[in-house]
Amino acid sequence: MDLVLEALRQYCKNIIQDSSVKKFLQNTLLVSFSSDFLSITKNFQQDIPLLWYFGTYEWYEINKHSIKKDTKVIVCNWVLLDYFIYDTALLGGGALPKLRNDKRNIYGIGHSMAEAFYYAPLREKKEYLDVRVYNAFCAFSHYIAINKDSKRAFKSMFDAVGLEVCVVEGGYPRFDNRFQKRQAFKCNKEQFLFIPRLSKPHELLEIISYLLDNGKKVLLRRHGAYENYIKWQGLDDPYKVLEAFKQDPNFSFDETPSITNEILDKSIVVTDNSSVAYSAPLVSLTPCILYSIPKNEFDLRIRNYGISFANPLLHRVALDDEEFFRVSLDLETELSVNSEKITKEIQDYVLDNFYNLGCSAEMIAKTLLESFKKQQLV
């Protein structure tokens, strides 16, 4: 395997040393494609030549209509991408392998608000965890924080593992749009919306049964990762164990293409380490329930680097079925009695905590443009 990897590294080095390839890569901003980055780059795409990155040709085919026809494009596997970053890049977070030691400006921004807290509840030896964190972020020169809490979390991790990554106060374009479009808060919730990521469907049987037996309406949304496993790996559908609940008129699967503000507004969300754990309460201004049996991948009792995944303002934690029964009832009561107070507290938290709320795409673009000018790329 080492021989194969070394041959691959040498092949990539030879490619970028080719004069025509180097000319193609030089004086461009390499940007990994996403809707968030489209909203950022539209603020300066007239000033900087863009080089759009796609991890697969299939992803390019799906989204090529979203970029200008004359824009440069590169398609390669994520693990090889660092070889083709010549000067500057704006990338989605996600353990970019560092393959070159050249000094470049590589900005990262996570795909979700939960990313800064991902490593906090991992049950792992510190020396191994430090290596994971280091490898996940060492290729970045800058990392964009969404809010004050995420900035503190990133700085705590980076300092602990010896990373000199500059944390930038940026914001989150996707959240700007969702927060501004949210509907009026509804104190009387109509349903419990399950959006599990780590929790296996069979682990939810008891608590769903409890809710249905008590006359509650339950909506369950399958996680996209399971859908992909079923489609591409030919695995059995793990959600089959929940199909027995279809006989109950109060149970249904949520088949909508995306989670809308309208669905969140009338739901108490039950999730675990999904990114929804942060986006749902911040958009709906309603605490969600983190139902998570302690596991190596996610143990809410653990606070690595002095960080907690759970935020007491946004989350109500249940580590087992009995605790869920109590927490779900308590939250319903809490919302019926103190709904206005809870709404205002979360809204104030958003307004005070988030960077550049409502204009984060423009401000991130301004930060990047200033950085590029210093490098005389514009």
Burial 289-319 (b: 16+ CB within 10 A, else e): bbbbbeeeebbbebebbebbbbbeebbbbbb
Among 268, 266, 314, 316, which residue's Cα sits nearest to residue 291?
316
310 and 182 part of one domain: yes
244 and 261 part of one domain: yes
Q: Which residue has the tokens 């290596």?
A: 131
347 and 361 part of one domain: no
49 and 111 part of one domain: yes
Question: Which pLDDT score is estimated for 235?
Answer: 63
Strand 288-291 vs strand 267-271: parallel, antiparallel, or unpaired?
Answer: parallel
254 and 314 part of one domain: yes
Its pTM stands at 0.88
Question: Which pLDDT score is estimated for 377?
Answer: 47
Which residues partner with 252 through β-bridges? Answer: 219
148 and 52 part of one domain: yes
26 and 73 part of one domain: yes
Number of domains present in the structure of the chain: 2
Low-confidence ranges of the chain (pLDDT < 50): 1, 377-378
48 and 164 part of one domain: yes
182 and 168 part of one domain: no
Burial 244-255 (b: 16+ CB within 10 A, else e): ebeeeebbebbe
114 and 262 part of one domain: no
209 and 111 part of one domain: no
The tally of CA atoms less than 13 A away on the side-chain side of residue 242 is 23
Which residues partner with 89 through β-bridges? Answer: 30, 106
How far from each other are the two terminal CA atoms of the chain, in whole angstroms? Answer: 42
CATH number, residue 89: 3.40.50.11820
Question: Which pLDDT score is estimated for 102?
Answer: 81
Range of the domain at 92: 2-172+357-374
Among 93, 198, 98, 99, which residue's Cα sits nearest to residue 146?
93
DSSP secondary structure letter of residue 308: -
Question: Which pLDDT score is estimated for 13?
Answer: 66
CA dihedral 313, 146, 172, 311 (to 10 degrees): -20
Question: Which pLDDT score is estimated for 15?
Answer: 67
What's the Cα-to-Cα distance from 225 to each of 146, 221, 268, 294, rounded to whole Å?
24, 12, 22, 21
Question: Which pLDDT score is estimated for 378?
Answer: 44
CATH number, residue 321: 3.40.50.2000
Task: Confirm if 287 and 342 have CB atoms less than 8 A apart.
Answer: yes
Task: Confirm if 239 and 254 have CB atoms less than 8 A apart.
Answer: no
152 and 262 part of one domain: no
Condensed to tens digits (0 to 9), the pLDDT of residues 32-65 reads 998 888 989 888 767 788 899 999 999 999 999 9
